[in-house]
Structure 1
Amino acid sequence: MKAVIVTHPGGPEVLTYTTVPTPAIKPGWTRLKVAGFGINHSEIFTRAGESPSVKFPRILGIEAVGTIDATSAPDQFTVGQTVVTLMGEMGRAFDGSYAEYVLVPNTQVYPITTKLAWTDMAAVPETYYTAFGIFKSLQLQANDRVLIRAVTSGVGIAVLKLIQALPFTVTVTGTTRSAKKTAALQELGLDQVLITTDATQLPAATGEFDKIVDLIGPAATTDSFKHLAEFGILNSTGQLGGQWTLPDFDPITVIPNNRYLTGFYSGDVDGQLIQQLFDYIAEHHVDVTPTKVFTLAETPQAHEYLAQATGFGKVVVRVNA
């Protein structure tokens, strides 16, 4: 089969499009014919050698959509069945989705009912699953003022679209470091764009918000709290600020009185929640069209695009077209 393999850490140029053996079925595992997958920042970190547990050579890819090609559990899955797979150390402890076929544990295969085209479906799993978890945690109400920090990221755009599908009015502000993205964000229906020269610090004149989606992560958490209204919810899920934890975190002093801090861990995958997500997309006609689509051979270019400051929204790779 054709696959994109990394033999040593480096830039996008270390992603090599080549021919490798198709993985053989083994007990407890299922082989998927990959129709497409999204490109994620975590894969860029891994490719660059920033995931110490990952050993090379490795086929990257933490998510995929496709069909059952062969399975060790014929009582559980049907050949040709539409499925999603994500997380579970795919592309890290074992080879991932940057290939025409991927072998994954049976526990990591999630049958899905959807009418989405493959390219659109490929934009959903990791990005929209994370966004949906964030979206649900916010407990949004009519007239809420929402801030999305790093709104131009794939998850940021996904959260925005999920919010816009609500049957009541919510005002959404988003941050970006690039003024060049303002027009595109306004076209998406963002109510206000905040330009931040420092992603970890909001402009001094920034007001308060009822709900904040902080995709910058721990590097910006303390700053986000400064702009959270009383009884507001701060969801800190992303780590785009390059900081993974809050050192010496004291919830009594870090979390202001009558404010709430939450997050969403996409590694805790719930098949029912995935189907709820696809049902929400269908019921509310959420446009999940990816910003950019590449072929498997163009995976290095997909990495380059996502890593650029001009990168915007979700990037997917279409396979077996």
Structure 2
Amino acid sequence: MKAIVIEEAGGPETLKLKEVPTPKVKPGWSLVRVKGFGINHSEIYTRKGESPTVKFPRILGIECVGEVADTTDAQRLPVGQKVASIMGGMGREFDGGYAEYALLPNKQIYPVNTNLSWAELAAIPETYFTAYGSLKNAHIEAAKNLLVRGATSGVGSAAIKLTKAMNPSAKIFGSTRHEEKFDKLKAIGCDEPVLDKDGQVQTDEHFDTIVELVGPATLNDSLAHLNQFGYCCMTGGLGDQWTVPNFSAFVIPNGACLTVFESGKASSDDAFNDMLNIIETHHIDVKPTKTFDLAHTGDAQAALEASDSFGKMVVLP
């Protein structure tokens, strides 16, 4: 099979298209014929050598969609079943989705029933499930307003679109460091784009719900804009910072909740298909910003890294 193999840390050019043996099934694992996968910031960090537990050579990719090609669970995962998979060690502890085939643990292969195209479905797993889980953890259904911190990212865009379906009355604010992206945010349903400048969101507004995708770099500022009894869900690390120095729990407003969401620990067949049902019932536009073929996976990562990046990049092998 063809796969994108990385043998040493570096730039996008380290992602090499190679011919490698197609994996064979083993107990508890099944083989997925990959039809598409999204590009994620965590994969870029790994490519740069910023994931110390990942050993090279490795096939990256923390998500994929496709069809079961060979199975060890014919009842739940029959050959030909349309599936999605996210996290759980993909592309880190074992080879991931940047390939024509992926050998994956049955417990993290989720059967899906959908009429979406492969490009649309490939844009969903990690991005939309992370947004969906973050919004659920942050009680979006009860919120009068929402701030998405890092709104122009794939997860940020997904959070805006999902909120329109899950709580149409909520006023949505979305932050970005680039004022020229305001119109794009409005086009996907953001009511009030706000500028993120030097780690501070440029608004006096306070929020019932905050989805924090920039991460520890802006967490304290986000908490300063959280309402009493509000919810802040820290999910991303777009700010490339992983700890909050000298963090004090007393910065959390009275009665408010600071929580997190990790897709790999919350996935299930039902949860994933509940999210898909919302997407299809409400006709949410999940088309990726741009698609690439397998040979140009490095270009897809470079596009995501670019300062004018917006939304989701997808590869169709």
TM class, shorter-chain normalised? over 0.9
| Partner deviation per Cα, 1:215-242 (whole Å, 9 max, x = no partner) | 1111211111111122221111111122
Aligned to 1:230: 228
Aligned to 2:297: 299
Is residue 2:15 matched to residue 1:15?
A: yes
Q: In the TM superposition, what is the alpha-carbon distance from 1:76 to its structure 2 partner?
A: 3.5
Measure the CA separation in 2 of the matches of 1:44 and 1:167.
Answer: 33
Identity %: 48
Are the aligned partners of 2:59 and 2:91 in contact in 1 as well (CA < 8 Å)? yes
Are the aligned partners of 2:143 and 2:208 in contact in 1 as well (CA < 8 Å)? no
Query: What letter is aligned with 1:111?
Result: P
Corresponding residue SS for 1:267: helix
Aligned to 1:96: 96
Aligned to 1:221: 219
Corresponding residue SS for 1:103: strand
Aligned to 1:265: 262
Q: In the TM superposition, what is the alpha-carbon distance from 1:276 to its structure 2 partner?
A: 0.8
| Distance 1:143-1:5 versus aligned 2 partners, 3 A rule | closer
Corresponding residue SS for 1:225: helix
Corresponding residue SS for 1:164: helix
Are the aligned partners of 1:162 and 1:286 in contact in 2 as well (CA < 8 Å)? yes
Corresponding residue SS for 1:61: coil
Measure the CA separation in 1 of the matches of 2:142 and 2:66.
Answer: 37
Query: What letter is aligned with 2:227?
Result: A
Are the aligned partners of 1:142 and 1:169 in contact in 2 as well (CA < 8 Å)? no
Is residue 2:39 matched to residue 1:39?
A: yes
Q: In the TM superposition, what is the alpha-carbon distance from 1:166 to its structure 2 partner?
A: 3.4
Are the aligned partners of 2:161 and 2:189 in contact in 1 as well (CA < 8 Å)? no
Measure the CA separation in 1 of the matches of 2:142 and 2:91.
Answer: 41
Deviates more, 1:259-268 or 1:302-311: 259-268
| Distance 1:167-1:240 versus aligned 2 partners, 3 A rule | closer
Measure the CA separation in 2 of the matches of 1:141 and 1:270.
Answer: 21
Q: In the TM superposition, what is the alpha-carbon distance from 1:245 to its structure 2 partner?
A: 2.6
Measure the CA separation in 2 of the matches of 1:249 and 1:186.
Answer: 34
Are the aligned partners of 1:142 and 1:168 in contact in 2 as well (CA < 8 Å)? no
Measure the CA separation in 1 of the matches of 2:247 and 2:195.
Answer: 28
The match for 1:313 among 306, 311, 314 is 311
RMSD: 1.5
Are the aligned partners of 2:227 and 2:253 in contact in 1 as well (CA < 8 Å)? no
Measure the CA separation in 2 of the matches of 1:147 and 1:194.
Answer: 9
| Partner deviation per Cα, 1:118-151 (whole Å, 9 max, x = no partner) | 1100011111110000111232357712111110
Counting only pairs closer than 5 Å after superposition, residues 183-262 of structure 1 correspond to structure 2 as 183-198=183-198, 200-203=199-202, 205-251=203-249, 253-262=250-259
Query: What letter is aligned with 2:58?
Result: R
Query: What letter is aligned with 1:254?
Result: V
| Distance 1:93-1:167 versus aligned 2 partners, 3 A rule | closer
Are the aligned partners of 2:63 and 2:87 in contact in 1 as well (CA < 8 Å)? yes
Q: In the TM superposition, what is the alpha-carbon distance from 1:83 to its structure 2 partner?
A: 0.7
Aligned to 2:72: 72
Q: In the TM superposition, what is the alpha-carbon distance from 1:246 to its structure 2 partner?
A: 3.0
- The count of residues paired between Structure 1 and Structure 2 equals 316
Measure the CA separation in 2 of the matches of 1:51 and 1:140.
Answer: 32
Measure the CA separation in 2 of the matches of 1:74 and 1:271.
Answer: 16
TM-score between the two structures when normalised by the length of structure 2: 0.95
Aligned to 1:30: 30
Are the aligned partners of 2:140 and 2:166 in contact in 1 as well (CA < 8 Å)? no
Deviates more, 1:239-248 or 1:83-92: 239-248
Are the aligned partners of 1:84 and 1:109 in contact in 2 as well (CA < 8 Å)? yes
Are the aligned partners of 1:147 and 1:173 in contact in 2 as well (CA < 8 Å)? yes
Q: In the TM superposition, what is the alpha-carbon distance from 1:250 to its structure 2 partner?
A: 3.8
Is residue 2:278 matched to residue 1:283?
A: no
| Structure 1, unaligned runs of 5 or more | none
Q: In the TM superposition, what is the alpha-carbon distance from 1:294 to its structure 2 partner?
A: 0.8
| Partner deviation per Cα, 1:42-65 (whole Å, 9 max, x = no partner) | 000000000111111100001010
Query: What letter is aligned with 1:106?
Result: N
